[in-house]
Structure 1
């Protein structure tokens, strides 16, 4: 017999939907019920976010895995494991934006006793520090944690040259948690609570379980029996995976990642955190997973997702947000294994297919008239690029991401590249003595109206024979 309650009864008690069609909600709840039954999970809970709001949530199963047990709901707490790291990372970036640290600082500049203090703050955030993944001694996820001094005394190893490669490090986030504590002069979780959780209304995100909370279970792989998993304070390792949360609370964090930061983090800093820095390279396969500054990133058939996964004994969790549309998904299960990594993608896919977001209506932009003299064909050497005008004063040169195609936004003195080869580079318009546009100067490259225009000051000059 299955260890969960009847899916239909459980769903009826727990499901909530707002802003989506009832048929869509039923399809989502059906997918969740299939996950709980087929993967033999004591309970599973999920929520979807659109336009910054929780539009659907549901839970299937019971907190103790028994058919007559307490039903799980979107208000039930689950341990979220490594999703905790994203809160620590955001608090580190807030400290950076306050001028308290620089990402290139060696961590020893703020933590003189840190192991391998030459590694930088950015390397710790992006898992490129080279620090070992886990602590020495007993598995920290299953035993009560020690102090910071205990962690330092254990002499964590440096396995790789800092900056050389991606190597996931829970120890690295213990260091970052201590960094936050030293600079804020309060325990790391107090800093996160005061700086992030309370302003965002996430009052059900805590370091220890608060009822109603799910119990953590191991499910026997070959029988329908359960094993109690431990729950404890991880001590110095807590910044790597201590938090508990609910679907309702963590959906607010998904909205944060989608851009609804409540003024707690600038959109520029959030975008900086979501830039891929270290690819999780698996030989023989195309890259799918990467890390930015605290956020995991996924490239699924061209769709870029941000978020993080989480696991602790007895619990699995996932947070995933489509970084273009802002649609997000949160999933929890109170089992050590079994939750399919594809569940969040499946739920987001159902929402996207059944209720696609309509593009904003097109309308004319009279302000573009001032830049019409720039549109049309331009040549870098003999390579042709079409320049067109975008919204908000942007220029679009060629196809962004193809060869040297890039988008540019206006800044003082010209336009700066937003992506592609010319990201960060300055584009300026050069005019002749009569005030007419002569050429475009882009990172020392000359873009001219005709190939090798002799009037455009081509570097190296134009051959006197010209075209012949």
Structure 2
């Protein structure tokens, strides 16, 4: 796909991008496929998928208590637990506000580890990464410590292509579970989308952000409202557009900023336009 070559004009040291169709075939790839990039918050969809595996295995229930009083696993996945961004303190009642929270995903990982008696990094590896052949993906914390389920993933383009294919045509999960993950949880809640300001509403599914009618947004103007995915502060993103029948992964090694706000939407629009004419 010629549109993927647009990443060469991004002001970043290194970049890689790929498009994966709903049937799992790769429509195009550009850049180093095996270079490992820090994912930042693109870690969260991987962690959420592990949580959904734990749910289907019966280790946890989505509506069991987890996090602050009144919060559940579902609240943690959907950023409605009321926890602060990076602190384990409540700033709102559960289910009343969309408060994006790294702390919530860290508590979620601890909850799963306690329920399964398996360290979360190991559970993620055994339940998601190894079955999908994502051998280059790890959670890497500072100084060799266990990494945060919210932000410490490191991966490659090849590995995230495998994950994007799985989400579109699930093998590890029941398709109905994945459909729930890309469906708005607690509709109508406002909240801040990091980097893009207050969104009314700020729709989210189970670990995946849902585009809906958000503006401004990191996807394209031609992205369907059903588009879901995540972006990371390390300059990375993964979106899946069910209406286009495709997903796109982009990885860089420059922190998210004004360059990404300017570069990502026209890139996505070019990818979608090429998909429509293919």
- The one of 152, 163, 170 equivalent to 1:261 is 170
Q: 1:125 to 1:26 in 2, by over 3 A?
A: closer
After superposition, residues 166-181 of structure 1 pair within 5 angstroms as: 166-181=98-113
* CA distance in 2 between partners of 1:44 and 1:173 (Å): 27
Matching residue of 2:216: none
Matching residue of 2:84: 132
Matching residue of 1:270: 178
After superposition, residues 12-31 of structure 1 pair within 5 angstroms as: 25-29=1-5, 31=6
> Taking CA–CA contacts closer than 8 Å with sequence separation of 6 or more, which of the two structures ends up with the larger relative contact order?
2
Q: 1:91 to 1:179 in 2, by over 3 A?
A: same
| TM-score, normalisation: structure 2 | 0.84
Q: How many residues in Structure 1 have an aligned counterpart in Structure 2? A: 261
Shift of 1:326: 2.7
Shift of 1:355: 4.0
Determine if contact 1:233/1:242 at 8 Å carries over to the other structure: no
* CA distance in 1 between partners of 2:70 and 2:81 (Å): 9
Matching residue of 2:218: none
* CA distance in 2 between partners of 1:118 and 1:236 (Å): 28
- The one of 58, 80, 84 equivalent to 1:99 is 58
* CA distance in 2 between partners of 1:273 and 1:123 (Å): 12
1:91-122 C-alpha deviation (Å, 9 max, x unpaired): 22222223332222112xxxxxxx62441111
* CA distance in 2 between partners of 1:49 and 1:343 (Å): 20
After superposition, residues 39-438 of structure 1 pair within 5 angstroms as: 40-50=11-21, 51-59=23-31, 73-107=32-66, 116-135=68-87, 156-208=88-140, 232=142, 238-258=148-168, 260-262=169-171, 264-278=172-186, 279-281=189-191, 287=200, 289-299=202-212, 302-311=224-233, 315-338=234-257, 339-341=259-261, 343-356=263-276
Determine if contact 2:75/2:81 at 8 Å carries over to the other structure: yes
Shift of 1:235: 5.0
Shift of 1:350: 2.6
Structure 1: which 5+ residue stretches go unaligned?
Answer: 1-24, 60-72, 108-114, 136-155, 209-230, 359-468
Determine if contact 2:121/2:146 at 8 Å carries over to the other structure: no
Q: 1:286 to 1:242 in 2, by over 3 A?
A: closer
Q: 1:236 to 1:77 in 2, by over 3 A?
A: closer
Larger radius of gyration: 1
Q: Which structure has the highest strand share of the two?
A: 1
* CA distance in 1 between partners of 2:201 and 2:75 (Å): 20
**What is the SS of the residue equivalent to 2:97?**
coil
Structure 2: which 5+ residue stretches go unaligned?
Answer: 213-220
| TM-score, normalisation: structure 1 | 0.51
Please, which moves more after superposition, 164-173 or 46-55? 46-55
Matching residue of 1:457: none
Shift of 1:289: 4.7
